[in-house]
Chains A and B, each alone.
Chain A
Amino acid sequence: MLRIKNLDAGYGKLKVLRRISMHVSPGEIVTIIGANGAGKTTLLHAISGLLKNRSGEILFDKREIGSLPPEKIVFLGCSLVPEGRQVFAAMTVLENLLLGSYVQQKQNRDYKVQDQLQKMYELFPRLKERRQQLAGTLSGGEQQMLAIARALMAKPKLIMMDEPSMGLAPLIVKDIFSIVGRLREEGNTVLLIEQNAKAALGIADRGYVLETGRIILEENADELLLNRDVQRAYLGRDLDSETKM
């Protein structure tokens, strides 16, 4: 579905991503884990078109999208839930969702906004209760749910999420991840970017490890969970002291 070959990207003279190659197949949850500043957001911005300064190959559904602007890429079925939620704060929850549905309304005659809204309200009952509330007044977790629902309104083939757990309380993080799991059950394809490696690898099929702009590991998620380097660097286990005991 998504295939990236030798992607370089950066800001002006600063090169952030170097020769990234990766892919996501239909029906998969793929996660990319990496520390703060590794280039995770930069990668998603390069795929979604927000970052123009990119070279290499980005194929979506076998189509080269490396030169398209973000508003065109969404129409192909590739949606991004941006880092830090970025809901339209001064607009109501319902308006946010309706804006998300624009892509489908414009190109799909059979699309029923109301049906899709109902689906979202089922997935996120909180949003239904608060549909007339301004998005800026929601809690962080609710805003994250809204950001995900807004992207889902477009019925994307691939949904990319940039650190959905960032800054949320553990209980809410659990909610969000269980929703990501449900998305897969419903046949969605997800590219999940996380610093919270444990939770992400827990639900993903495959994972990549991104370190200072390079992919240093690619493995099935359960194997990555057992990988000693990953455990030490990203899962916070102190292996040295464990072996001494």
Chain B
Amino acid sequence: MNIDFFFQYLVAGITYGTIYAIVAIGFNIIYNTTGIINFAQGEFVMLGGMISVALHAFVPLPAAILAAVILTMMIGAIIEILFIRWLANPSVLRMIIITIGISILVRETALHIWGAGVRALPYFTGSEVSAISVGDVHVSPQVLWVIGISAVTVTGLNLFFGRTLPGRQMRACASNRNAARLCGINAKNMVTLSFVLSAGIGALAGCVVSPITYIQYDSGTPLAIKGFTVAILGGLGNSMAAVAAGLILGVLESFSIWIMPTAYKDVISISILLLILFVRPSGLFGNKEAAGLKEF
């Protein structure tokens, strides 16, 4: 085994891992405020990527990304208001079916609008061939963008939930919905806000990752599966654990190429998902106490 290859794989693993983590955080935000697993989470990532590519034909890159994120947030709000908000006390099964239905609807709409072609934003800086080299390890600049923007997103979310009024109100709703309402908090608006937020960070992830992974109308599903695996691995609802779990899954997948054909890469996450569900349903970092103190 060559040490340079080792680092090359490690970097690739970290790159994918951060994206999985971001998708997992999207799951967690909605799960924490509603108890719902939003199976359309991957579609937000796809929408962010597709919309930004479409807009980039007319406007510069930063504007295209910003607009794509905002548009996806609005779509998130519309989805919540149309399909979720008016349900009185939906059962978990009903919510699963509804969110899967939403994901199919979004995917088919995307197919109708953009066709089945593969798209991508250009590299934010540099190009496919440019690389930042440390010794014999070559890192694409886009990888640094992915990691950097993900880190900023996670930090921003932490500040939002820890320091701002709406962030605290969302946590209060997650902790005890009735008590939150007795503090004058409109719980339904908090649910909408959680969809908006999840859609926004999903879309941002879709924008930054598209130059590396490319994106098409059905890219959401595999990402959702990976993100869901990571969310479960970290312990549902726990976003800092999701970051760690995301990195673990990303790196594992990356190194699996050494011992298995690339085509089997996805088997890793499914196996981990099943294994965790059987052995430690509360996640790697979950314990009874943490389950009692539900946090973002």
Taking beta carbons and an 8 Å cutoff, which residues of A are in contact with B? 48-50, 69-71, 74-75, 79-80, 82, 86-91, 95, 98-100, 102-103, 105-106, 134, 136, 150-151, 154
Docked pose: A87 CA to B183 CA in angstroms: 11
Docked pose: A49 CA to B186 CA in angstroms: 13
Contact B183 A100 (CB under 8 A): yes
Contact partner of A82 (CB less than 8 A), chosen from B168, B179, B184, is B179
B265 CB → nearest A CB, Å = 36
Contact A74 B293 (CB under 8 A): no
Indicate whether A91 sits within 8 Å of B168 (C-beta atoms), given known contacts A71-B187, A134-B293, A136-B292: yes
Indicate whether A90 sits within 8 Å of B182 (C-beta atoms), given known contacts A99-B169, A99-B172: no
B185 CB → nearest A CB, Å = 6
A192 CB → nearest B CB, Å = 17
Contact B175 A150 (CB under 8 A): no
Indicate whether A102 sits within 8 Å of B165 (C-beta atoms), given known contacts A71-B184, A71-B187, A150-B183: yes
Task: Write out the residue numbers on chain A whose beta carbons fall within 8 Å of the beta carbon of B295.
Answer: 90
Contact A103 B183 (CB under 8 A): yes
Residue of B at shortest CB range from A105? Answer: B165
Indicate whether A50 sits within 8 Å of B178 (C-beta atoms), given known contacts A90-B293, A103-B184: yes
Q: B294 on the interface (CB 8 Å rule)?
A: yes
Indicate whether A74 sits within 8 Å of B171 (C-beta atoms), given known contacts A88-B176, A89-B292: no
Docked pose: A48 CA to B181 CA in angstroms: 10
Task: Write out the residue numbers on chain B whose beta carbons fall within 8 Å of the beta carbon of A71.
Answer: 181, 184-187
Contact B293 A136 (CB under 8 A): yes
Docked pose: A74 CA to B295 CA in angstroms: 26
A127 CB → nearest B CB, Å = 16
Contact A102 B293 (CB under 8 A): no
Q: B139 on the interface (CB 8 Å rule)?
A: no
Task: Write out the residue numbers on chain A whose beta carbons fall within 8 Å of the beta carbon of B175.
Answer: 88-91
Task: List 9 A-B residue pairs with CB atoms under 8 Å apart, sorted by A's residue number.
Answer: A50-B181, A74-B183, A79-B182, A82-B179, A86-B176, A88-B180, A91-B171, A91-B172, A154-B183
Residue of B at shortest CB range from A95? Answer: B168
Most A CB within 10 A of own CB, among B175, B176, B183, B186: B183
Interfacial residues of chain B within 260-296, with CB under 8 A of chain A in the complex? 292-295
Most A CB within 10 A of own CB, among B179, B180, B187, B293: B179
Docked pose: A82 CA to B179 CA in angstroms: 7
Indicate whether A102 sits within 8 Å of B184 (C-beta atoms), given known contacts A86-B176, A88-B171, A88-B175: yes
A141 CB → nearest B CB, Å = 18
Contact A90 B171 (CB under 8 A): yes
Residue of B at shortest CB range from A137? Answer: B293
Task: Write out the residue numbers on chain B whose beta carbons fall within 8 Å of the beta carbon of A91.
Answer: 168, 171-172, 175
For B15-35 the 0/1 string (1 means CB < 8 A from A) is 000000000000000000000
Task: Write out the residue numbers on chain A whose beta carbons fall within 8 Å of the beta carbon of B292.
Answer: 89, 136
Docked pose: A183 CA to B176 CA in angstroms: 26
Task: Write out the residue numbers on chain B whose beta carbons fall within 8 Å of the beta carbon of A150.
Answer: 183
Residue of B at shortest CB range from A72? Answer: B184
Contact partner of B172 (CB less than 8 A), chosen from A75, A88, A134, is A88
Contact A102 B169 (CB under 8 A): yes
B69 CB → nearest A CB, Å = 28
For B155-197 the 0/1 string (1 means CB < 8 A from A) is 0000000000100110110011011111111110000000000
With A91-B171, A99-B185 given, name 6 new contacts (CB 8 A): A48-B182, A89-B176, A90-B171, A99-B168, A99-B180, A102-B185
Contact B169 A69 (CB under 8 A): no
Task: Write out the residue numbers on chain A whose beta carbons fall within 8 Å of the beta carbon of B181.
Answer: 49-50, 69-71
Residue of B at shortest CB range from A49? Answer: B181
Most A CB within 10 A of own CB, among B175, B176, B182, B294: B182
A29 CB → nearest B CB, Å = 20
Contact B182 A80 (CB under 8 A): yes
B247 CB → nearest A CB, Å = 24
Contact B184 A106 (CB under 8 A): yes
